[in-house]
Amino acid sequence: MSDNQLLEAIEKYLNGEMTKDERARFEILRNENAEINNKVTEQKHFTGLIKQYGERLELERRLNAIHSEIDVHTLEDELMIQPSFIVKLWRNHHSKISVAASIAIFAVLCTMFFTGYLNNRDGNIVQLRDRINKIGAKTDQLGKKVNNLNPPHTGDINPGNFRGTGFAISSDGYIVTDNHVIKDADSVYVQSMDGKAYKAKVIYSEPATDIAVLAINDPSFKTLGAIPYSFKKAETDIGENVFTIGFPRDAMVLGPGFLTASTGYNNDTTQYQVSTPVNFGNSGGPLLDNRGDIIGIINAKQTHVEGAAFAIKSNFLLKAIQDIPADSLKKPINTNTKNVLATLSRVQQIKKLQNFVFMVKVYNQ
């Protein structure tokens, strides 16, 4: 086959002018002969360039035709006869408008600052520390007075300014929560499911990973008993069922869901994304898989995406525990490696868990 015949055959092939049998034979030839295949590719590329050039010329011709029909100078005069209402308003009152806008921006910034919005790492992320309002504080104070009438000791309950969640990492009173929950705290209390409150102190914090470890230092505290869950070191798979329990209100609340991403907001590799209902007060709560293993700590949610919450991965918690200075501990923390929740139903798992999950109350001036 001569070069001209080959070129003619390639053009018929690319233009779809071959019969079904001719096209099949040509494709066999193309697959067997690399040189012919290269020529087909080059011809296709060349034809595409010619087509693009032709389209560009046609567009230029059409634009020129449209431009020749427009009287640019007349159109300019019509549009510029009088300035628009907005332009007039700005020219006459720009100083007043500037002052008003400045006051409005200042007011918005003040509101954002005092609500804690500017303290978040990103405008689309909200941390889940709950500010306890005055009504809640009065209710807690009334509860304290009522409790003082009861003989059993329930601890010195501080109403607190903020509320979060924490959970035990050992049976002798070491509790983990989020760093932003206890940030700038003057005093910290943890309250158990049965309403008993204990004074605690912060012994270690990691702002970068948002992890804090508390130690109960209340003389009325007794050991918790054996921890029923273990801490998962390996990554959890996307799609796995998960759940959390915490204190978005005074009663413990269950949040079921599933793991939706192996990274957090903006691909943060220290976090998981989960689809589970969380609210202010859930910060610091445990995130568990179906077996009852701790896989993370709830710390934030995305403001404009329904059900998108984030949790610090458990392997970063384990690393934080290892990094606690030895002089801050009475004895080394040995996290539990035996999980007794794996074979239980969800209801039974919650019953076992509830004595190891605490409301964290923070007081600062």
Domain boundaries, the chain: 3-69, 130-363
- Within 8 A by CB and 6+ apart from 135, the residues are none
Whether the pLDDT of residue 94 is over 80: the answer is: no
Which residue would you say has higher pLDDT here, 31 or 310?
A: 310
Label residue 189 left, alpha or beta by phi (over 0 means left) and psi (-120 to 50 means alpha).
Answer: beta
Share of the chain above pLDDT 90, in %: 42
Contact status, residue 297 vs residue 282, Cβ threshold 8 Å: no
With cut-offs at 50, 70 and 90, classify the pLDDT of residue 189.
very high
354 pLDDT tier (thresholds 50, 70, 90): very high
Provide the pLDDT for residue 83: 56
- Above 80 in pLDDT, residue 314? yes
Widest CA span in the chain? 109
**Three-class DSSP category at 220:** coil
Can you name the residues that pair with 166 across neighbouring β-strands?
Answer: 358
Tell me the pLDDT band of 71, cut-offs 50, 70 and 90: low
Reduced to 3 states, what is the DSSP secondary structure of residue 85?
helix
Residue 303 has pLDDT above 50, yes or no: yes
Task: Give the tens place of pLDDT for each residue, 101-118.
Answer: 666 676 656 555 554 444
Average pLDDT over residues 155-167: 71
13-17, 103-107, 302-306, 354-358, range with greatest mean pLDDT: 354-358
Rounded mean pLDDT, 181-193: 91
Average pLDDT over residues 213-234: 93
According to DSSP, the residues that pair with 163 across neighbouring strands are: 130, 361
Which carries the bigger pLDDT value, residue 39 or residue 128? 39
Q: Between 34-69 and 3-14, two packed helices, what is the crossing angle to 10 degrees?
A: 60
* Mean predicted confidence (pLDDT) in 284-307: 90
**CA 173 → CA 14, 81, 139, 292, 342, distances in Å?**
77, 79, 27, 20, 24
* Mean pLDDT (whole number) for 129-156: 44
Residues 106 and 113: beta-carbon distance below 8 Å: no
How confident is the model at residue 138, as a pLDDT? 43
**Position 336 confidence tier, pLDDT thresholds 50, 70, 90:** confident
Nearest CA among 306, 277, 272 for reference residue 289: 272
What the block records as the tokens of 50 is 């010619």
Tokens 């087909």 found at: 40
Q: How far apart are CA 316 and CA 241, in angstroms?
A: 21
Lowest mean pLDDT among 78-92, 129-143, 218-232, 340-354: 129-143
- Whether the pLDDT of residue 76 is over 70: the answer is no
pLDDT (tens digit, 9 = 90+) per residue, 234-253? 999 999 999 999 999 889 99
Which of 13-22, 35-44, 152-161, 340-349 is most confident? 340-349
Q: What is the radius of gyration, based on Cα positions, of the chain? A: 34
Residue 145 pLDDT more than 50?
A: no
Amino acid at 26: F
Which H helix or E strand runs over 40? Answer: helix 34-69
CA atoms within 13 A on the CB side of 328: 16
| Secondary-structure breakdown of the chain: helix, strand, coil percentages, each rounded to the nearest 5 | 40, 25, 35
Class of CATH domain 130-363: mainly beta
DSSP-derived 3-state class of residue 135 = helix
The lowest-confidence range among 44-48, 77-81, 198-202 is 77-81
> What string of DSSP letters covers 151-211?
SS--------SEEEEEEESSTTSEEEE-HHHHTT-SEEEEE-TTS-EEEEEEEEEETTTTE
Bridge partners, residue 253, by sequence: 246
Among candidates 316, 39, 359, 70, which has minimal Cα distance to 189?
359
Q: Which residues of 97-128 are buried (b: 16+ CB within 10 A; e: fewer)?
A: eeeeeeeeeeeeeeeeeeeeeeeeeeeebebb
Amino acid 18 reads: M
DSSP string, 50-64: HHHHHHHHHHHHHHH
Q: Give pLDDT, residue 42.
A: 83
More confident residue, 74 or 196: 196
Residue 98, pLDDT score: 66
Mean pLDDT of 180-207: 92
Provide mean pLDDT across the span 137-143: 43
Tokens of 191: 């309250």
- Rounded to an integer, the average pLDDT of 54-83 is 67
